[in-house]
Amino acid sequence: MKDDTKLVHAGRAPFENVGAVNPPVYHASTILFETHEDLQNHRSAPTYYGRHGTPGTDAFARAIADVEHADHCVIVPSGLAAISISLLSFLKTGDHLLMVDTTYDPARSVCDQLLTRCGIETTYYDPLIGADIKSLIKPNTRVVYLESPGSRTFEVQDVAAIVSATKSTAGERDIVTIMDNTWATPLYFKPLDFGVDVSLQSITKYVGGHADLLLGTISCQAKHWPAIDRTRRLMGNSVGADDVYLAQRGLRSLSARLKVHGQNALRIAEWLERRKEVQRVMYPPLQSDPGHGIWRRDFAGGTGLLGFVLKTASEGQVSAFQDALTLFGMGFSWGGYESLLIPIDIAPYRTATQWKATGPAFRISAGLEDPDDLIADLEAAFAVFA
Ligand SMILES: *Cc1c(COP(=O)(O)O)cnc(C)c1O
């Protein structure tokens, strides 16, 4: 089955539930057992305690696993929880982690503030390292972590080259590769198909899609499941039934929405590229983007998040620009139906590479509005740079 068909049918079983199209929502902590014997055998029940999930949340996890080509998926409270649970599932004291320099910056804080306390060492690496990742692998390297395109600057990683160099250097050892796939979603990139062991995403962004929930997922094949399942249970994470229901509703229209997000982002990127005030646009689907070749080779589409750098602008111009926009909201997160634009700092979040551009940088999350209106809004606000 193709993905668009899967998105409609995955995880649903109407005739197990009075024929209702959507799986039921269970508000349940305590699960009752009818007899003493059932209680003794609780581990073979579909659920025995709400914290571990219910048939309602399991339906969403099954749907995500299906689209990811994964054996298993677990839903966790946020994308950041997916990052920390994945890392803690495989790393222990004395281990070494290779972390991409362009990682989502709170993931950097997980490494620098949480993993350090556990005696786990992190080396940040250039996202464009490719097969040279092998030169950074040490005898105690246990995890190689990827994110592509990178946060803030959108570098496209050669995932296949990194994974194969890692596996061949690892030999008999198991070095686990983990990838944050939030930008592409499993519709436009399937990490497990590229040999990545663990695929995580912030469901808050495109799957949720309506700026009203926080969730994350971690997907993997059978081999790496016990470690992830054990860790998430021990961490006591559980997810709200209604949020999972909303995420599942978002999943049904994900493909249709992503097409519009991608078209609008490309229109905006091409418009920005023609502006004399703009030094560079960071969006891999643009022909001129340095990551375009690998993006075309590996990705099935482009989503709505892009960046751009101005040649120069004063602080006053930057704030006047933001205040002049009427359709682009100012706020964190992205992937909702509404467009957003915020200034972004880059240099402080890089240690293995150097950000050399001097002009101010911005990030746009292209929403589902008419692109002509979005461009007219940008055009009017660009007047402040005149
Ligand atoms: C937002 C984001 C996350 C974290 O997601 P939350 O659900 O907000 O915790 C992780 N990775 C990337 C790339 C993100 O943009």
Q: What are the pLDDT digits (tens) for 328-353?
A: 999 999 999 999 999 999 999 999 99
13 and 72 housed in the same domain: yes
168 and 206 housed in the same domain: yes
CA 121 – CA 246 distance, rounded (Å):
38
Residue numbers annotated as active site: 51, 104, 180, 205
Final residue of a structural domain among 202, 230, 252: 252
CATH of the domain at 132: 3.40.640.10
Ligand 1 pocket: which of 80, 83, 103, 212 to mutate (most atoms <8 Å of CB)? 80
248 and 271 housed in the same domain: no
247 and 296 housed in the same domain: no
Domain around 241: 3-252
* pLDDT given at position 46: 84
* pLDDT given at position 378: 98
Final residue of a structural domain among 192, 227, 252: 252
Domains identified in the chain, total number: 2
212 and 74 housed in the same domain: yes
| Structure token digits, residue 354 | 């150097």
The vertex-345 CA angle with 340 and 351, nearest 5°, equals: 135
Residue located via tokens 């001129």: 288
311 and 230 housed in the same domain: no
Q: Which residue positions in the chain have pLDDT lower than 70? A: none
15 and 141 housed in the same domain: yes
The vertex-161 CA angle with 159 and 164, nearest 5°, equals: 105
31 and 109 housed in the same domain: yes
CATH of the domain at 296: 3.90.1150.10
**Residue 139: which residues within 8 A CB-CB, separation 6 or more?**
none
Residue list, ligand 1 pocket, CB within 6 Å: 78-80, 104, 147, 151, 180, 182, 202, 204-205, 214, 216, 333
The vertex-52 CA angle with 67 and 229, nearest 5°, equals: 65
